[in-house]
């Protein structure tokens, strides 16, 4: 048993002793509220030990002795959620939230349960309200941004996620969520947001490379060629990527520079680097050479051959 478990067990035994003493007295009866508090403590002890069925029974006894013990209702809802019954948990919380609309602890748990049961978009209004009431809570701001984005309320989502970032914005999952929403709002700002996201990963994490490459493809599909080139350049600055992946990204970059940007020197350099990185799949090289948008076809073939590139 760990020290923490030992302390919880000791507390549990103290509460049981309290009940045993009063249970054995015939001339004195503990006040109802004291009994309710004791059973509430027992419920908490069971909950901490993940004995949720026993916790639920203890909370029910606490409410039997004190029906106004609202914290016991909240913790009963938590036990239902922990045992995979968010619907019943919400049923317990709805009247509690209605009777005490200013209780932000209840409001937060209710919003989380709605998102869990019905999807994040369903909780957008609840989290938008919480974001206004708790501007300094990073978890609330992130959850608000996530749910508002799911409800296609991009501007509000971006506001909440940027506030989250200013408060405690760390970690790839959160920063990549922010970058996704930035992309929806303004593609031109997306590259910097994605760079922030991938830089939150360890230097040897391969996930740093692929998001930027995928974003470049999306930008190219939207004919935002300059932004696509910027995304690929950012990806290729990263220290970790398999040579084959780097070669494919270099080839993609070279193709964009030649076909869409018409920057021949940089395009030639990127294609040369792609070949040196081992990207030698004949099909894309042939497709590039036969592309009707390619200028200086014969010059390119000659220059590639001089550089040792012979696809």
Q: Kindly report, residue by residue over 150-159, the tens digit of the pLDDT.
A: 999 999 999 9
Domain boundaries, the chain: 1-100
Topology classification of domain 1-100:
1.25.40
Q: Using CA atoms, how far apart are residues 112 and 106, in angstroms rounded to an integer?
A: 10
Where is mean pLDDT largest: 1-5, 7-11, 177-181, 265-269? 265-269
* Residue 303 parent element (H or E): helix 297-306
Give the rounded percent of residues in the chain with a pLDDT score beyond 70: 88
State yes or no: pLDDT of 118 exceeds 50: yes
Residue 187: the pLDDT is 66
Q: Using CA atoms, how far apart are residues 113 and 86, in angstroms rounded to an integer?
A: 6
Q: Using CA atoms, how far apart are residues 272 and 182, in angstroms rounded to an integer?
A: 34
How many CB atoms are located within 10 Å of the residue 258 CB? 23
147 — pLDDT class (breaks 50, 70, 90): very high
- Tell me how long the chain is: 311
DSSP 258: I
Going by C-alpha positions, the residue among 289, 267, 265, 269 that lies closest to residue 277 is: 269
Contacts of 23 (CB under 8 A, 6+ apart): none
Q: Using CA atoms, how far apart are residues 171 and 157, in angstroms rounded to an integer?
A: 18
Contacts of 36 (CB under 8 A, 6+ apart): 62, 63, 64, 65, 66, 69, 72
Q: Kindly report, residue by residue over 52-104, the tens digit of the pLDDT.
A: 999 999 999 999 999 989 999 999 999 999 988 888 999 998 998 898 888 99
Going by C-alpha positions, the residue among 194, 198, 175, 197 that lies closest to residue 186 is: 194
Stretch 157-165: mean pLDDT: 95
Q: Where is pLDDT greater, at 207 or 260?
A: 260
């Amino acid at each position: 048993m760990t020290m923490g478990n030992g302390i919880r067990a000791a507390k549990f035994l103290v509460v049981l002793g309290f009940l045993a003493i009063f249970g054995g007295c015939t001339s004195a009866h503990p006040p109802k509220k004291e009994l309710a508090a004791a059973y509430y403590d027992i419920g908490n002890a069971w909950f901490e030990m993940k004995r949720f069925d026993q916790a639920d029974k203890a909370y029910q006894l606490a409410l039997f002795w004190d029906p106004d013990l609202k914290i016991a209702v909240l913790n009963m809802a938590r036990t239902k959620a922990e045992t995979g019954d968010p619907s019943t948990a919400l049923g317990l919380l709805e009247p509690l939230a209605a009777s005490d609309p200013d209780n932000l602890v209840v409001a937060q748990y209710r919003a989380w349960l709605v998102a869990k049961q019905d999807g994040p978009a369903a909780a957008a209004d609840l989290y938008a309200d919480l974001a206004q009431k708790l501007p300094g809570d990073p978890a609330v701001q992130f959850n608000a941004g996530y749910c508002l984005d799911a409800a296609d309320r991009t501007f509000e989502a971006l506001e909440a996620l940027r506030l989250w970032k200013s408060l405690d914005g760390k970690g790839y999952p959160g920063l990549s969520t922010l970058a996704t929403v930035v992309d929806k709002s303004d593609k031109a700002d997306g590259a910097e947001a994605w760079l922030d996201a991938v830089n939150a990963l360890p230097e040897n994490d391969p996930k740093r490379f692929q998001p930027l490459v995928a974003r470049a493809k999306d930008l190219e599909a939207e004919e935002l060629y300059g932004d696509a080139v910027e995304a690929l350049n950012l990806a290729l600055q990263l220290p970790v990527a398999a040579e084959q992946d780097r070669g494919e990204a270099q080839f993609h970059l070279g193709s964009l520079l030649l076909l869409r940007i018409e920057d021949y020197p940089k395009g030639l350099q990127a294609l040369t680097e792609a070949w040196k990185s081992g990207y030698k799949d004949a099909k894309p090289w042939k497709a590039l050479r036969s592309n009707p948008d390619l200028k200086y076809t014969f010059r390119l073939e000659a220059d590639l051959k001089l550089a040792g590139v012979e696809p």
